[in-house]
Chains A and B, each alone.
Chain A
Amino acid sequence: MNSSQSNNGNNNSFDSLSQDLGLYFLELARIGSSKAPVEMEEDEEVVPTELNTINSSAGFLVVAPDKLSVKYTAVSLHGHDVGVVQANNPVPVKRLVYYFEIYVKDAGVKGQIAIGFTSEGFKMRRQPGWEVNSCGYHGDDGRLYRGQAKGDAFGPTYTTGDTVGGGINFASQEFFFTKNGAIVGTFSKEKEMNRCLFPTIAVHSQNEEVHVNFGQKKFSFDLKEYEAQERLKQQMTIENMPLPPNISYGLVRAYLLHYGYEDTLNSFDLASKSTIPPICIAQENGFDDQDIMYALNQRKTVRQLIRNGEIDAAMNRLRDWYPQIVQEDKSAVCFLLHCQKFIELIRVGALEEAVKHGRIELAKFLGLPEENLFDALVMDCVALLAYERPQESSFGYLLQESRRDVVADTVNAMILSTNPKMKDVQGCLQSYLERLLRQLTACCLERRLAEGGQGEAFCLSRHLN
């Protein structure tokens, strides 16, 4: 969208400007009807579910048929006959925490069991942690190995009957290990370990036997509580951020002004004047509401008509007050208005009239250059005719009240754009509040990108509920 185009009152530039605005809302309407991208991504990541029998060190260990336990079958002689096995899939990163556990069924002769994370292509003869790009918590000495043969003192040893867990906290970028439900220790994940990591277990002396749990059974460690604590920590960082007083007041007022909620605004202004101290949004806070006070009453009136489904009345008002908005009949805003009229006719069951209206007003939008936007919506609208109970069909979303809001918002933006003193097109599209929200979402996504795409995605609805 070209925001450097300015409205100098010239009809030509207004047309192209208005076309841009209308298309923006049309696109938004189309996006609003499909599943949000964030939700989809969380379904898509694969997770470890069982042990990988293909690349494990087959000569030294045996994996049970259910692929959830291993036994060391050889007699270990040196440091290169470790029985190592990775999970079938790498650790999923688009979440807050990943965690898995092992249960030591039998510590065998020497108890040289290890749990940790290794990268693809790990030498499957060595304990996790003994090679670069791996880490491991070893049961025989309780040490943590991080890529070298010499480990650091870390925690207690573990043996038969113990449940040991390994996890990655993507928020704090740390590894952590647990023993019998309690955290043993944590250490930070270097950026080099940002590659694909696999949960890994290893056994190294005769008769060692280990069972693994990738979440199919309840964990010994309270993972939910850990996640809750982590979220709380993040929450506290946010809560401790100081705020200038009355900062929200301006945003709320600007929102009401932008969308033309005149009655609510009057009520709000009345109430604010009588508070002690009277709240004043000085220019110092950055609010410039000249642009959005424009045509407040007209915008309110048109919005109310659209909200009540009185599309004809709304269009008449627009023809009287702002003919330039509706004069180009093939514009996006006219399209949205005609579609909505069609939908309203269907809503009251006036099917014949709907068809007539569709033929006269909607047909002309088929086959236009912006066909992907117009065609799809026309087809969806027309499809409603096929159902006895259209609201229950997959196109039922068109009959929701929120569709009227989309049309109302578009018209609102168009009216704002007729303001000769308008400085910036962006100002018509969304109120400050929405811009703030988009900024926040964008920042969170940026941040996640900076951390190699790891961690939970930011989902506004989740935060608000």
Chain B
Amino acid sequence: MEVDPRLYEQISVNDNDIHNIVMSYLVHNCFKETVESFIACTGMKQPSDHLEDMEKRKRIYQFALEGNALKAIELTEELAANLLEKNKDLHFDLLSLHFVELVCSRKCTEALEFAQMKLTPFGKEQKYVEKLEDFMALLAYEEPEKSPMFHLLSLEYRQHVADSLNRAILAHANHPTYTAMERLIQQTTVVRQCLNQEHGKDGPPPFSLKDFLRS
């Protein structure tokens, strides 16, 4: 049983809110030309200073995604000076990407040297020790893709790190770190969960975007 929005006919959704939601998505994901086009088509006001930085963020994101962590780090320092200092977890994750690159190109000695110089210093804090162990373990395998830690070499992992970096840069510039769209989907899920708990089997089922779109 879907909660029928027609029961609440007086809910009108403001065009402006919708435009802002779409814009928030486009800006977050650095779709510069699309932003410009959308502004032209809808007559929206331009988001303040987003556009220049968007190009830079996009490049940083892409470098991180490709695994070129050193370049991503370099550009991040240029764009946002103390960001990595303040985000040690992120810094560690980025450095580990470079480590993984070296391991994958079978440059094991270089990888080891890099790890000892850059990664092991993090080991002073307990929370990094486990992560360090996982990464170092990759060195033990002739074919790291077949090791139990193969997920550290995956595109998903790189995407996760790139996303975190993107959010950190946005936070640093005092911009929202999650798009309004993501927030809305999350919120709908949470509220539906509450309703589901309240009403049990009489209530609406847990929210699934897929099912919702088909309804």
Contacts and interface: CB of A to CB of B under 8 A. Distances in A.
A238 B183 contact: yes
B32 to A, nearest CB: 8
A1 interface: yes
A443 B192 contact: yes
A449 to B, nearest CB: 10
Nearest to B176: A464
A243 B186 contact: yes
A216 interface: no
Contacts of A329: none
Contacts of B6: 1
B33 A267 contact: yes
Contacts of A287: 213
B210 A286 contact: yes
Interface string A273-288: 0011100000011111
Given A237-B190, A267-B34, A438 B11 contact: yes
Nearest to B31: A271
| Interface-central residue, B3, B36, B214, by most chain A CB under 10 Å | B3
A286 B16 contact: no
Interface stretch (A61-69, A130-138, A221-229, A245-253): A245-253
| Interface-central residue, A244, A303, A432, A442, by most chain B CB under 10 Å | A442
B179 A248 contact: yes
| Interface-central residue, B11, B62, B180, B186, by most chain A CB under 10 Å | B11
A255 B18 contact: yes
Interface string B184-197: 11111111101100
Contact of A442 (B11, B41, B189, B199): B11
B215 to A, nearest CB: 9
B174 interface: no
Contacts of B213: 285-288, 432
B42 to A, nearest CB: 8
A294 B21 CA distance: 24
B210 A285 contact: yes
A323 interface: no
Contact of A276 (B40, B65, B182): B65
B187 A433 contact: no
A264 B38 contact: yes
A32 B18 CA distance: 14
Interface string A436-465: 111111111111001000000000110110
B5 interface: yes
B26 A252 contact: yes
Contact of A268 (B3, B31, B186, B188): B31
22 contacts: A1-B6, A31-B10, A243-B186, A248-B185, A252-B26, A256-B22, A261-B37, A261-B41, A261-B42, A264-B34, A267-B33, A276-B66, A288-B213, A307-B43, A409-B15, A433-B18, A437-B18, A438-B13, A450-B195, A460-B13, A461-B14, A464-B20
Given A271-B32, A271-B33, A438-B5, 17 more contacts: A1-B6, A239-B178, A241-B189, A248-B179, A263-B41, A268-B26, A270-B33, A271-B31, A307-B43, A436-B185, A436-B212, A438-B8, A439-B5, A442-B8, A450-B198, A464-B17, A464-B180
